[in-house]
Structure 1
Amino acid sequence: MKIIIAGAGEVGFHLAKLLSYESQEITLIDINKESLAYADTHLDIKVIKGDATSISILRDSRIEQSDLFIAVTASETTNITACVLAKQLGSKRTIARISNTEFINFKEEGGFTKFGIDELISPESLAASEIQLSLKQSSFNDTYEFENGALTMVGLTLSRSASFVGKTVKDAAKIFPEIHFVPIAIQRFGSQYTIIPRGDTMFKRGDNVVFITSEGGAEELCRLTGKKNSEIKNVMILGGGQIGFKTARDLSDKGFNVKLLEVNKERAFDIADDLPEVLVIHSDGRNVDLLEEENISDMDAFIAVGGNSETNIMSCLVAKSKGVKKTIALVENMDYFELSHSVGIETLINKKLLAANNIFRYIRKGEVVAMTKLNNMNAELLEFEVRSSSEICNKLIKKVDFPRSAIIGGVIRNGLGVIALGDFKIQEGDRVVVCSLLQSIKGVEKLFR
């Protein structure tokens, strides 16, 4: 697959890095010589210095042969223009990164598809949505919804009090036969290896386990693991950038009590004018005395989405020490994920990873309609739509020659989520959620073509 990426910033470089691992033919375009030089020396890709809105530069990249053109520069105007030109010059599909979320909400009215833009993505909007989902499932580390919650992925670390610690998956299923969840991935405490659980896989204390749940499954998991999905009402947000602003606005609209800390005085006043229901405080969120003055111990959640990952992590640790139940940090450095979990921050948000997940479904073969990479695990969660020609269609799950390092987590049929076991028959139109280690994805994709 030939893919051209315009923009060698954080999102563009991360995408190029992930896609280069997949043996895709990648071309990276940017006007910044230093960014391209770093990508050229660290990745097996082709780089072109120039403006992505230049027709001659696009032709140099062989745009007419491209399967996908992705514009993720810092300029929304550049991204939109580049995608329009790329489509006119022969690219099969185009994706533009935008910052104005109104464009996504009114994509059809704005005529973006007619212009030649197949998809719009906003990393900031994706991050804000991820934060809201994390607050909704406050007792879990990681969350992801399929089809508006018909099936939900949740991740948690097993404590000694969890009912199924010391039991195999098969034994746990016998004890709790009416459950609405199934384990799909396990990472042992202190290990970097991801396990796709089978019947004889044993749950151990300290395991980081990812489950797929249908309706009611999250509540069952809370009861069986001794966790409490407590209600969140009072929220403090550090950082008034795009993510902080959108999160504060959306949470306030839903009835949350929101305090927002912003270090830039002018920006703080602008937010206060735009969001009258939000208490905006002009202050540095690293000031522990100020956090105490603002009653941080009374907060149900603390969300750090400032521009500095280290500040976000340290602020969350301060909040945690003051008794805040749920902490969420925006981090840019992927290496911080494991460290932050180990010191007690429940949820980490990474814009680059969210944008990559959103774009990856256009690269995956088969009828992939949604996907996400599991945090700190060597696995992906994919949602496929079953066609009449799919090899898996009209077969019982236990009769499908499924890769050993992949597992079906659930099926969505007519809008309803089902935890599908061996005797479940897959039908045309079903949406099947699969967890797979990276080396088995190609084998899984073949079943759904």
Structure 2
Amino acid sequence: MKIVIIGNGKIGSNLAALLVQEGHDITVVDCDETHLRKSQNTLDVMCIEGNGATAETQLEAGANKATLLIAATPYDEVNVLCCLIGKRLGTKKTISRVRMPEYYQQMHLIREDLGLSMVINPELSTADEIMRVLVFPSAAKVEVFGKGKLELVEYRLPDFPWLENITLVELYKKIKTKFLICAVQRDEKVFIPSGDFALQEGDRIHVAASHRNIERFFRASGFMKDKVRTVMIVGGGRVGYYLSKQLLAVGMKVKLIEKDRERCEKLSDLLPKAIVICGDGTDQDLLIEEGVLEVDGFVALTGIDEENMIISLFAKDSTNAKVVTKVSRENYIDLSSELGLDCVVSPKSLTMGNVLSYVRSLESTAGSEIESLYHLVGDQVEAIEFRVKERIPDLVGVPLKDVQLKKNILICAIIRKREIIIPDGSAVIELGDSVVIVSKEHHFSSMKDILD
């Protein structure tokens, strides 16, 4: 697939690297030669120096023949203009990054008029991810499928004697609710487990179930944490704003610490129900003075990864709060986990997943279509939701025990209208179902790809 990416900053360059790995023909456009140089030297992409918001540059990049144009410059207005021009030139689909809250709120009104196929907002996606974890603080991460009907929850197993070496079959018998452990990370290894897999302390498990059954699983196993009612946020950027707005909307109390006075004044106007403190959130004395020892949730959202990690470690060691850490650099994600920070969010990773899901859906055959896609355990496992749109031989209407799947693939849920089915061997996939699979393999764009 020919894809044009305009804007080769952090988001653009990482998208280029990801989509090259997926086997696509990528052209990158940027007006700054230094932004292009690294991609030119390290990736198999065509680089064009120029203004991507002009028809001349887009024609040089081949936008008139492209299946997809992605506008990822730092400027929302430029991104929208790039997509509008690309659409007029003949690009089939367009994706625009829009970050400003004022603009993003208007997109649903004019998206079709502007020719936008998709709008991405990394900061809002990050806030959504953090919100899901704060609403369900027992989890390290929560992904949703079937428009929220199914949840896939990551959790690190504690030192509970009854858990040691218990097999999944034994666990399913002990906890009588519908759930499935569909992936396990143990140190550097990742498993798509079968029923005889034995759990150990420190394993990171990924549990699939409806929200109600996820809660039942955590209560029955003794993993359930108290609800979060008060949250301290350090960093008043766009993520901090979006998150505060969501928390206040569900009745949580929010204290937001930001060191820029002008930004504090603006946040006070935008978030009248929040307590906004002008100060240095990396100052431990200030955090204690403002009540960090009493809050239920603590979120580090400064623009500097190292600061976020340090203040998160302080909050983790000093409080009983649910601690969430924003990290942008990929190599810091694993480091954060090693330091004991189990809930780390990455705006870049979330954006990559959203775009990749859309790109894969463009590749999908008529028989099935990707609804959503998430990366688990870094990039080692993919969880994909397919919509079954036609009768696929050897799959639709066949009991799962008779379906020949490729290795390291697990069908972990079937979503049928309002029903969540955690399947056993007798379960059958029907036309119109959404099917969630977990796999150590990558590049699946159709349900047909999972058959052996």
**Interval containing the TM-score (normalised by the shorter chain):** over 0.9
Q: 236, 242, 245: which is aligned to 1:240?
A: 236
Quote how far apart the aligned CAs of 1:439 are: 4.2
Q: 2:24 maps to what in 1?
A: 24
Quote how far apart the aligned CAs of 1:290 are: 0.7
Quote how far apart the aligned CAs of 1:343 are: 1.9
Q: 1:438 to 1:101 in 2, by over 3 A?
A: farther
Q: 2:40 maps to what in 1?
A: 40
The reply on whether 1:435 has 2:438 as its aligned counterpart is yes
The reply on whether 1:181 has 2:179 as its aligned counterpart is yes
Deviates more, 1:95-104 or 1:128-137: 95-104
The one-letter code sitting in structure 2 at the alignment partner of 1:126 is S
Structure 2 CA distance for aligned equivalents of residues 275 and 79 of structure 1: 28
Q: Answer whether contact 1:158 1:207 (CA < 8 A) is retained.
A: yes
Q: 2:5 maps to what in 1?
A: 5
Q: 1:150 maps to what in 2?
A: 149
Q: 1:388 maps to what in 2?
A: 390
Q: 1:80 to 1:439 in 2, by over 3 A?
A: closer
Structure 2 CA distance for aligned equivalents of residues 222 and 325 of structure 1: 18
Quote how far apart the aligned CAs of 1:184 are: 1.1
Question: Pairwise CA RMSD of aligned residues?
Answer: 1.9
Structure 2 CA distance for aligned equivalents of residues 442 and 387 of structure 1: 14
Secondary structure, in 3 states, of the residue corresponding to 2:323? strand
Deviates more, 1:193-202 or 1:203-212: 193-202
Structure 2 CA distance for aligned equivalents of residues 380 and 27 of structure 1: 26
TM-score by length of 1: 0.94
Q: Answer whether contact 1:140 1:346 (CA < 8 A) is retained.
A: no
Structure 2 unaligned segments of length 5 or more: list them. none
Q: 1:352 maps to what in 2?
A: 348
Quote how far apart the aligned CAs of 1:133 are: 0.5
The superposition leaves residues 345-400 of structure 1 with CA deviations (integer Å, 9 ceiling, x where unpaired) of: 23111111111111112221430011111142501111100112334322222222
Structure 1 segment 169-208 matched on structure 2, within 5 A: 169-176=168-175, 178-188=176-186, 190-191=187-188, 193-208=189-204
The reply on whether 1:402 has 2:405 as its aligned counterpart is yes
The one-letter code sitting in structure 1 at the alignment partner of 2:115 is G
Secondary structure, in 3 states, of the residue corresponding to 2:310? helix
Q: 2:414 maps to what in 1?
A: 411
Structure 2 CA distance for aligned equivalents of residues 72 and 445 of structure 1: 32
Q: 1:133 maps to what in 2?
A: 132
Q: 1:84 to 1:390 in 2, by over 3 A?
A: farther
TM-score by length of 2: 0.93
Secondary structure, in 3 states, of the residue corresponding to 1:438? coil
Q: 2:219 maps to what in 1?
A: 223
How many percent of aligned residue pairs carry the same amino acid?
Answer: 29
Q: 1:420 to 1:95 in 2, by over 3 A?
A: same
Quote how far apart the aligned CAs of 1:181 are: 1.2
Structure 1 CA distance for aligned equivalents of residues 297 and 196 of structure 2: 38
Structure 2 CA distance for aligned equivalents of residues 298 and 76 of structure 1: 39
The superposition leaves residues 228-247 of structure 1 with CA deviations (integer Å, 9 ceiling, x where unpaired) of: 23110110001111110111
The one-letter code sitting in structure 1 at the alignment partner of 2:338 is S
Quote how far apart the aligned CAs of 1:155 are: 0.6
Number of aligned residue pairs? 444
